[in-house]
Structure 1
């Protein structure tokens, strides 16, 4: 109920009277421990849930047309089963959490064809060997990862590292040789 009061206060502050008029919502620094039900905001595009105490994500109540999601500076341990329906996301900030399981995390984000900017630094996954190349390979639409532009040379290297068989076949076709 406390969360509902915060949402109502935020809307009043912005002069918004109807749920359909909400396209941005900031619930940053509200000491939230979970993601509130925001399904009533059908046109919500940008959501700030950063700097809270969120440990587990259950974002099924979030609008699937969300384009920006700020979840940094929380205590999130896993995003599995929480974000895969957010296929319109273009920006996702998840830095400074406790996210483990690089493969599980990338599997969750695999359907995000429009994701251009993402941050995962200051999470245990960002310390795994080959982390950056793995993320670039799994999320080919990324243009900026952890605040650093994704270069074409990095894309090529990640493709070579994670699709070795496809790379070998492409190389053989490019030089008119049969792949053995």
Structure 2
């Protein structure tokens, strides 16, 4: 350490960046800091951010988009959002508001509302926003899906990382295409049959024991249900448009129940106690097959089940017995089992 290193440095002063405004949008940027400012100093500096009621003081009343991300806003009501009669997009991500108070004033012209990563305990004060198409309540403390009965135009609804135990309250969202419910406390897949336009359903990291309640989702293309408690692949017979199935890290012991899912392009069974590779040779559209951390040991099964798939480009078998027994020759053996379309084994691309 030199003498120069020991000189006291002037404490970094927070600077409130001006709102970046155009005729149609306003974005307030949090203070910037030098890289050598400690976390404690940065925390103190954030206190200098303008009071909630001042953040939009100079904003044009005709703006269409407001972005107030990561500004430690405690009370949305103090923002005076009702002034903006033409608002279409409102982003209040990564603040510390415990409620949606103040959103009842927002104009019903709004189509995109994002309150991701706050401390919100209830969905409320948004049911009048009848033109919403995108709604994000992820990373909050919500326990129930309710007070959304008038939001009939919602296409994308994000609710991951909350405390939701039951799938309810979606009866009036016929246009829903993408539903994100990962990392909640859901035990049963239910009350989804009416969502005829749903294409993506994300249910990873819940407490689901059985694949059920999916038969009405005939438009579904992506189903993600990894890290649950499922022991059997079943109930997918009606999902004939399914293209991506992520069912890793469950308790599945057998690949089965995919006879009617012939459009599958990606199948992820990683981290399941599967000992036999079977039940996939008919999936002629399959491009990606992920089976790391299983209990597969037979190269002949790889050849039989996957060797004739004309579109297969990527496979993962690392940390299976067939990999551990002879890691030096493992990838070459896998390559010899598969067809000319193969481009990648695990994280390694095949040289042409």
TM-score (norm 2): 0.38
Displacement, 1:70? Answer: 0.8
Displacement, 1:113? Answer: 1.2
**Does the aligned pair in 1 maintain the 2:300–2:337 contact within 8 Å?**
no
Higher helix share: 1
Structure 2, gaps ≥5 residues long: 1-186, 200-215
Report runs of 4+ in structure 1 exceeding 4 Å deviation: 9-13
Does residue 151 in structure 1 map to residue 351 in structure 2?
yes
Residue in 2 that maps onto 1:136? 335
- Paired with 1:12 and 1:97, the residues of 2 have a C-alpha distance of 36
Residue in 2 that maps onto 1:100? 297
Does residue 16 in structure 1 map to residue 198 in structure 2?
yes
What is the correspondence of 1:3-152 to structure 2 with a 5 Å cutoff? 6-8=188-190, 16=198, 19-80=217-278, 82-129=279-326, 130-139=329-338, 140-152=340-352
Query: Which has the higher Rg, Structure 1 or Structure 2?
Result: 2
SS at match of 1:47: strand
Structure 1, gaps ≥5 residues long: 153-180
CA separation of 1:135 and 1:150: change in aligned 2, threshold 3 A: same
CA separation of 1:65 and 1:124: change in aligned 2, threshold 3 A: same
**Does the aligned pair in 2 maintain the 1:59–1:83 contact within 8 Å?**
no
CA separation of 1:147 and 1:30: change in aligned 2, threshold 3 A: same
Displacement, 1:37? Answer: 2.5
SS at match of 1:59: coil
Displacement, 1:31? Answer: 0.8
CA separation of 1:103 and 1:11: change in aligned 2, threshold 3 A: same
Displacement, 1:69? Answer: 0.6
Displacement, 1:136? Answer: 1.3
Q: Deviations over 1:122-143 (max 9, x none)?
A: 1011235432112212222111
Greater RCO between the two (CA within 8 Å, min separation 6)? 1
TM-score (norm 1): 0.72
- Paired with 1:151 and 1:79, the residues of 2 have a C-alpha distance of 26
